[in-house]
């Protein structure tokens, strides 16, 4: 018959093995090493591909509707980004209203990300990029 210390040791071992087998959720860090298809290196131990990643909206490109207030007195001339604004004469107002915009927030090579390994260890949620 095993002694009490030996039995306690076996119970602890069995409990640790049960927790490890379930692989509860875990927070980890990664770095984007490829954009298309997306690949993330996790703590220099392994590389995750698109099939293993669940992306939160804040790390993707997405469309959203916004409401713009009235644009008063100025307009952009030309189509280049560096073109200055010029005053409108006579002064007037353009109502913008609801418009759809695209948020270009896709992950880029070299960005560090926060990941949560889902229970079971097969999928990782990319929560956000790190500053």
pLDDT of 102 > 90? The answer is yes
42 in the same domain as 56: yes
pLDDT of 124 > 60? The answer is yes
130 in the same domain as 76: no
Q: Which residue has the tokens 């860090």?
A: 29
68 in the same domain as 99: yes
For the stretch 57-82, pLDDT in tens is 999 999 999 887 766 655 555 555 66
For the stretch 19-32, pLDDT in tens is 766 667 789 999 99
93 in the same domain as 79: yes
For residues 8 and 11, give the distance between their C-alpha atoms in angstroms, rounded to a whole number.
5
For residues 117 and 59, give the distance between their C-alpha atoms in angstroms, rounded to a whole number.
17
Q: Which residues face 65 on adjacent strands?
A: 100
9, part of any domain: no
For residues 26 and 19, give the distance between their C-alpha atoms in angstroms, rounded to a whole number.
12
Domain hosting 80: range is 64-103
């Amino acid at each position: 018959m095993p002694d009490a210390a030996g039995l306690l040791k076996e119970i602890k071992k069995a409990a640790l093995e049960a927790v490890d087998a379930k692989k509860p959720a875990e927070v980890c860090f990664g770095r984007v090493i490829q954009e298309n298809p997306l690949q993330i290196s996790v703590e220099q131990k392994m590389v995750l591909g698109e099939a293993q990643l669940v992306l939160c909206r804040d790390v993707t490109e997405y469309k959203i509707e916004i409401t713009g207030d009235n644009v008063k007195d100025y307009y952009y001339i030309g189509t280049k980004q560096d073109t200055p604004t010029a005053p409108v004469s006579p002064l007037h107002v353009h109502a913008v209203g609801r418009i759809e915009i695209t948020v270009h927030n896709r992950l880029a090579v070299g960005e560090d990300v926060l990941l949560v390994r889902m229970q079971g260890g097969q999928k990782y949620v990319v929560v956000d990029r790190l500053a």
